[in-house]
Amino acid sequence: MTNHNFLQFALPEIGEEEIAEVVSALRSGWVTTGPKTKQFEADFAEFLGGRVEAIAVNSATAGLHLGLEALGVGPGDEVITTTHTFTATAEVIRYLGADPVFVDIDANTLCIDVDAVAAAITPRTKAIIPVHFGGRAADMGRLLELARKHNLRVMEDAAHSLPTTSNGKMIGTLDSDVTVFSFYANKTITTGEGGMLVTRDPAVANRARVMRLHGINRDAFDRFTSKAPSWYYEVVAPGFKYNMTDIAASLGIHQLRRAQAFQQKRTRIATLYDAGLAEMPIIRPPHAAPGDIHSWHLYVIQLDETVEVSRDQVIERLFEQGIGCSVHYIPLHLQPYWRDTYKLTPAMFPVSQRVYERTLTLPLYTRMSESDVARVVAAVQRAIR
Ligand SMILES: *Cc1c(COP(=O)(O)O)cnc(C)c1O
């Protein structure tokens, strides 16, 4: 298979509007956090609705760190999260000296198992981090009820879920404390690197804004445009360097305007996959609850028990046919750091472990054509024989 015919696993879709906006930022002389970041934040809050504040950061990982910090998580605290996620979800807990408590996923949603969360609560539990896996919302109704009952904070890892709804409400506007989106290159919208922290709690918003930029009490934009002396600032905490640049925000402004169209295109591809794979011994990804929106960030399939070819072999055979695939995720209980530090075994996470052994993620992105989808379907058919 020649290289130009290789179907990438993921590719961003960047238009001329994004490019022109980046050029305008470069020509303006204001390349770091400034007017375009402010605009992106305002547009993002409006896109979600629900009177939230949106705080742009240079990655979702940064946003997750700021979110937990603002919630007061620290040494001695426990934060409950899913083993079936990317390491960023859990590493931010360690940044603050707290301990993650990993729980299994629900086989029907591949998101955090709320019963397992309930069983994992101890007097040290401070917060819960659900992940809307692949862009399908976790069971937020039950999770938020549980959190309220035990007076726990909730931060949603929404890296996959723009736009996604839960009970008809946009992720980012639920009654959790913080929600964090990612604009990494392969996410549903991208700024190259970037993220957005969203909250309705003014105390959390203020703390995250201060800690985003060195613990300084005003950001650079205010500092150079307000009436106070432009040289004056105060450091109120040992903060971080997590602000978004105007170059990145220039991409975000236009990517956000295309988010609905992107979601429709992704849904179309998911529908084609569903139809194409229907007769094969393959478990297709969970759909959203009736009436809800699935962002379709990922199209994750599982090989049925009757498939005799191993998952690794299937990926190899797809690669040989010029199709890029991935695995979401190698669960954290298998990763050396998490496994050894917290004495985790596969037996503690039977659902995640079973899914991991049989799962692969097919390419799904807006630049794919219908014939690309057909080509993947045909390649899967050949690969599992
Ligand atoms: C991508 C991702 C992150 C991290 O996002 P960055 O913007 O790359 O920091 C966190 N959690 C999940 C579930 C992700 O998929």
Residue 272 is predicted with a pLDDT of: 98
What letter does residue 285 receive in the DSSP assignment?
Answer: P
Q: How much is the pLDDT for 222? A: 63
Atom of ligand 1 nearest to the CA of 328: 15
Instruction: Kindly give the confidence (pLDDT) of every residue in the chain, 385 residues in length, as a single tens digit, with 9 standing for 90 and above.
Output: 456 699 999 999 999 999 999 999 999 999 999 999 999 999 999 999 989 999 999 999 999 999 999 999 999 999 999 999 999 999 999 999 999 999 999 999 999 999 999 999 999 999 999 999 999 999 999 999 999 999 999 999 999 999 999 999 999 999 999 999 999 999 999 999 999 999 999 999 999 999 999 999 875 556 566 667 778 889 999 999 999 999 999 999 999 999 999 999 999 999 999 999 999 999 999 999 999 999 999 999 999 999 999 999 999 999 999 999 999 999 999 999 999 999 999 999 999 999 999 999 999 999 999 999 999 999 999 999 9
**Domain spans of the chain?**
16-257, 259-384
- 93 half-sphere exposure, CB direction, 13 A CA radius: 23
Does 356 sit in the ligand 1 pocket, CB within 6 Å? no
Q: Is 361 in the pocket of ligand 1 (CB under 6 A)?
A: no
Q: Which atom of ligand 1 is nearest to the CA of 195?
A: 7
Ligand 1 center from residue 92 Cα (angstroms): 11
Place of tokens 């961003």: 12
Using DSSP's 3-state secondary structure scheme, residue 313 falls into helix
Do 16-257 and 259-384 show the same overall fold? no
Closest by alpha carbon to 129, among 173, 56, 178?
Answer: 178
CA distances from residue 120 to 334, 345, 379 in whole angstroms, order as listed: 19, 16, 42
Give the pTM: 0.97
Confidence (pLDDT) at 1: 45
- For 297, the 3-state DSSP assignment is coil
Q: How far apart are the first and last CA of the chain?
A: 20
How remote is the CA of residue 336 from the centroid of ligand 1, in Å? 19
The pairing of strands 78-82 and 125-129 is parallel
16-257 placed in CATH 3.40.640.10: yes
- The model's pLDDT over 293-314, given as tens digits with 9 standing for 90+, comes to 999 999 999 999 999 999 999 9
> Does the structural domain 259-384 have CATH classification 3.40.50.300?
no
Taking the centre of ligand 1 as the mean of its atom positions, its distance from the CA of residue 228, in whole angstroms, is 38
pLDDT in the model for residue 229: 79
Tell me, yes or no, if 38 is annotated catalytic.
no
Ligand 1 atom nearest the C-alpha of 183 is: 7
Tens digits of per-residue pLDDT, 318-364?
Answer: 999 999 999 999 999 999 999 999 999 999 999 999 999 999 999 99
- Position 226 scores a pLDDT of 63
Classify burial at 213, counting beta carbons within 10 Å of its beta carbon; exposed 0-12, middle 13-18, buried 19 or more: buried
For ligand 1, pick from 81, 83, 87, 89 the residue to mutate: most ligand atoms within 8 Å of CB: 89
> Is the beta carbon of 129 within 6 A of some atom in ligand 1?
no
Distance CA 113, CA 103 (A): 7
Taking phi over 0 as left and psi of -120 to 50 as alpha, with beta for the rest, 50 belongs to: left
